[in-house]
């Protein structure tokens, strides 16, 4: 350990090559535009960043350790707390991994509901990204408008599952509830509102001189850099790589839906902004297509697999063996087959993957969460040098990092 004193403050063994008169600035961990608990140690020459060292771990709760000591159903609500801006995408990613491990598939209605929730979550997340990013760059009104529409989307989530932020709206094997009455109508109303409002946001930003000056040619992630750093999601598509897991390796109902994958070859923050805006439109397109699929499906909500999934409430209350089965599944937990599996889904931030190594016991032997933001933050150390201090805020906001999933 170091011996810090007044002349040599504690800098956690970070050695900066100090050849000339540069300044070390501690950015965060409490900084409004750090989007969570990000600490950046920046070395500045004038206002230019020469070296950047991201420091994370301020929100570390040991999710993977918790996962290894919880039965599978118990861990599902914990996943909410990873990417808390779009909680359902985490729930779903975990549920899908366990479903593939035990070899079951959710009924069609459950799939339709899940896909709807996933896309609604994508819109919520993208609106949040747009709002906070615009606020960081200085466009306050966009923040207010985008949060208004996000509120409507969160009302829809609340009507479905009762929660606004930590949804736990997905279960292993399906969904717990059917959509409430009028939910579809409300959803269609919301889509109409958002379609109009996206025009408003774009009217405020896309051709705005200040917005373009702050975003264009700022934070250029080349294709090579993106692949090397494991950048995924809209950030990768903003670098000209057309890669969306929903399209390329489809899961759930995405294989039968018609949507485009927006790509920008600009590689800068502005290109990523264009991708995000277009992705919201695509999500609405998907939501519209899901309404008839939902209506044509029969009413099953949970997969039937007595070995792994609890029976329905009705069965439990009438059949003795179902009640016993439920009791065993709740107290001991399901015992999936021995083996290992990695399943990736396209969360609003990028490739969200869950690796589960099962030894046949009710607790996973190893659980690893591949959170996309983790490497988007790591990328900062290569991306920031050469930029101005003001651009640091733009780049952090633009990469859409969420600390719940970085620190886990």
Partner 1 sequence: MRKYEDKTNKQKKSYHTDRFYKSPTLPKLDVCSNSLFAMDLSSLASIVDIKDAYIQAGHMIVYINHTDNKKAISHMRDTRAYDFLVELSAIDYIKDQDGFEIFYEMLSTTKKTRIRLKCFLNKNDTIQSVCHIFAMANWSEREMFDMYGIKVKNHPYMKRILMPDDWHDHPLLKTYPLTGDESASWYEVDQIFGKQNRDKIGEELRDTARVDRYDTNRFSRLGHEVPKGVDITNGEPDTPIRYQEDGGSLLVTKFDKKPSKILDKRK
Cβ(68)–Cβ(390) below 8 Å: no
Q: By CB under 8 A, is residue 355 in contact with partner 1? A: yes
Window 5 to 34, contacts with partner 1 (CB under 8 A): 12-13
Binding residues among 317-336 for partner 1 as defined by CB under 8 A? 331-333, 335
Tokens of 247: 């399209």
DSSP conformation class of 255? G
Give yes or no for residue 241 binding partner 1 (CB under 8 A).
yes
What's the token pair of residue 207? 């051709």
Q: Give me the 278-317 binding string for partner 1, x by CB under 8 A, dash otherwise.
A: ----------------------------------------
Q: Which of 45, 222, 228, 296 binds partner 1 (CB under 8 A)?
A: 228
Compare residues 211 and 251 and give the one whose CB is closer to partner 1. Answer: 251
φ, ψ (nearest 5 deg) of residue 273? -60, -45
Structure tokens at 386: 């050469």
Q: Which is nearer to partner 1, 214 or 370 (CB)?
A: 370
Q: Per CB under 8 A, which of residues 67..96 are in contact with partner 1?
A: 68-70
Q: Is the dihedral of CA 236, 242, 248, 251 positive or negative?
A: positive
Q: Which stretch binds partner 1 (CB under 8 A): 123-131, 200-208, 257-265, 378-386?
A: 378-386
Per-residue contact string for residues 101-120; x = within reach of partner 1 by CB under 8 A:
x-------------------
x-or-dash string of contact with partner 1, 141-180, rule CB under 8 A: --------------x-------------------------
HSE at residue 64, side-chain half, CA atoms within 13 A, is: 17
* Tokens found for residue 343: 């399943």
Exposure letters 116-153 (e unless 16+ CB within 10 A, then b)? bbbbbbbbbbbbbbbbbbbbbbebeebbebbbebbebb
Pick 304 or 313: Cβ nearer partner 1: 304
Q: Does residue 366 bind partner 1 (CB under 8 A)?
A: yes
Choose which of 184, 249, 291, 389 interacts with partner 1 (CB under 8 A): 249
| Cα separation, 92 vs 395, whole angstroms | 29
CA–CA gap between residue 398 and residue 395 (Å, rounded): 5
Q: Which two three-digit tokens encode residue 304?
A: 């039937």
Distance CA 202, CA 44 (A): 34
Chain residues binding partner 1 by CB under 8 A are 1, 12-13, 56-57, 60, 62, 64-65, 68-70, 100-101, 155, 225, 227-230, 241, 243, 248-249, 331-333, 335, 337-342, 344, 351, 353, 355, 357, 359-363, 365-366, 368, 370, 374-375, 377-379, 382, 407-408
């Amino acid at each position: 350990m170091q011996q810090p004193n007044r002349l040599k403050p504690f800098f956690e063994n970070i050695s900066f090559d100090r050849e000339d008169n540069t300044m070390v600035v501690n950015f965060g961990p409490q900084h409004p535009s750090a989007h969570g608990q990000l600490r950046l140690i920046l070395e500045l020459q004038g206002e230019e960043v020469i070296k950047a060292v991201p420091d994370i771990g301020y929100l570390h709760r040991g999710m993977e350790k918790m996962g290894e000591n919880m039965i599978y159903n118990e861990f599902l609500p914990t996943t909410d707390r990873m990417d808390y801006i779009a909680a359902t995408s985490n729930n779903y990613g975990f549920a899908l991994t366990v479903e593939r491990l035990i070899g079951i598939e959710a009924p069609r209605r459950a799939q339709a509901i899940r896909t709807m929730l996933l896309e609604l979550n994508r819109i919520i997340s993208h609106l949040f990204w747009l709002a906070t990013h615009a606020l960081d760059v200085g466009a306050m009104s966009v923040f207010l408008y985008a949060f208004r529409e996000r509120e409507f989307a969160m009302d829809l989530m609340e009507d479905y599952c009762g929660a606004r932020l930590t949804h736990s709206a997905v279960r292993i094997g399906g969904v717990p509830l059917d959509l409430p009455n009028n939910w579809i109508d409300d959803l269609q109303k919301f889509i109409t509102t958002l379609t109009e409002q996206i025009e408003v946001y774009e009217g405020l930003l896309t051709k705005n001189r200040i917005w373009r000056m702050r975003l264009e040619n700022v934070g250029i992630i080349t294709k090579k850099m993106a692949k090397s750093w494991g950048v995924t999601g809209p950030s990768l598509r903003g670098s000209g790589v057309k890669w969306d897991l929903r399209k390329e390796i489809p899961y759930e109902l995405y294989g039968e839906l018609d949507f485009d994958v927006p790509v920008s070859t600009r590689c800068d923050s502005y290109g990523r902004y264009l991708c995000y805006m277009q992705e919201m439109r695509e999500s609405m397109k998907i939501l519209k297509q899901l309404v008839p699929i939902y209506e044509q499906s029969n009413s099953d909500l949970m997969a039937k697999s007595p070995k792994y999934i609890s029976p329905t409430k009705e069965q439990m209350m009438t059949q003795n063996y179902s009640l016993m089965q439920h009791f065993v599944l709740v107290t001991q937990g399901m015992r999936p087959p021995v083996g290992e599996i990695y399943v990736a889904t396209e969360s609003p931030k990028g490739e969200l993957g869950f690796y589960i190594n099962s030894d046949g016991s009710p607790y996973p032997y190893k659980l690893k969460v591949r959170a996309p933001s983790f490497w988007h933050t790591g990328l900062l150390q290569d991306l920031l040098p050469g930029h101005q201090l003001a651009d640091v805020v733009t780049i952090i906001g633009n990469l859409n990092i969420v600390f719940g999933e970085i620190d886990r």
